[in-house]
Structure 1
Amino acid sequence: MEKELNKLLADLVVEYHKLQSFHWYLKGYHFFDDHKKFEEYYGDIADAVDGVAENMLKLGLKPESTMKGFMALSTIEEAKNKEVTSEEAYEIILKDFKQLLDEVKSVKALAEKDDVYVTSNLMDDYIELFSKAEWMVGEETKKPHFPGQDA
């Protein structure tokens, strides 16, 4: 359980920083709306980071807490230090949220198997978070982002 939770924790931390980078480096037509949305997403991820780490501590497990450790465990790719358009960011975020949804479902299944219901219940919250976010981001990727662009 510790290994799977630490991998999830690492992926959440990297996703947090990626969303923050997109928030900072966002350029383009929908800057105001998307800038605020990315801030909302990284706030949700920050809460999940804290929730996973606290859950691990309650279980007597040791959460990773170093950037070096997170980078060694994470399979989410870091953002680059460069400008990003809404279209580029949403495509990446959609892929990442799908991966995170799969991860929390796997952790839930393991927690259920091991009768760790407090972790299973926490994963339900994240299944709801990433299911809704995946749906919403998926819808966003279908929208035209530039004046005159067809859907």
Structure 2
Amino acid sequence: MSGNIMADIYVIRNLPYNLEEIKLQSLITQSFTQEQVQIVEYTQGFAGPKENVATRCYVKINKSSVDAFIDYMDGRPFVNSRGVEERSTLEKVIYYLSVARPANNKHNNTVETSKTYLSFLQQLNAPEVQPPSLESLVNSIEKKQQPTSLIIEELRKKKSGKKKSKYSKKGKG
């Protein structure tokens, strides 16, 4: 369709579920040119277990061809594969929003998006903790070897003396 001629979008509803896009296109092109009527989106229906889901088709129609297309298509009888007659309805689409489904993001609900996994990666990539230096180890050992009070040392000697005497008695017997 040429860009300078205004066009409206209409939806053809209640088409048989088994009507193919090629058949509908050929039906439309028998009376209208590609410049006058253009199929924008075609949603194929299907036979459900309880009821059939009808096919629908969005078409863009030139302003000059709208009345003729409404007369041609609105209420047109179609016969589905079960032999049931269905009449199409034509409605103007006030606000057209493509019904095409957005592509599935294959990264949704995967390990890479897990908060636990991301925190694990953060810990894994964190800078490593350096081992203590030799000087700090020597200083900590020297602090432990510093003399304590005389009372504590005497108590330790008595305690170790008692332990030695217990072991020496057991060893002799």
Same fold (TM over 0.5): no
Q: Which has the larger radius of gyration?
A: 2
Q: Compare the two structures and name the one with the higher strand fraction.
A: 2
RCO comparison, higher one (Cα < 8 Å, 6+): 1
Q: Compare the two structures and name the one with the higher helix fraction.
A: 1
Normalization by structure 1: what TM-score? 0.28
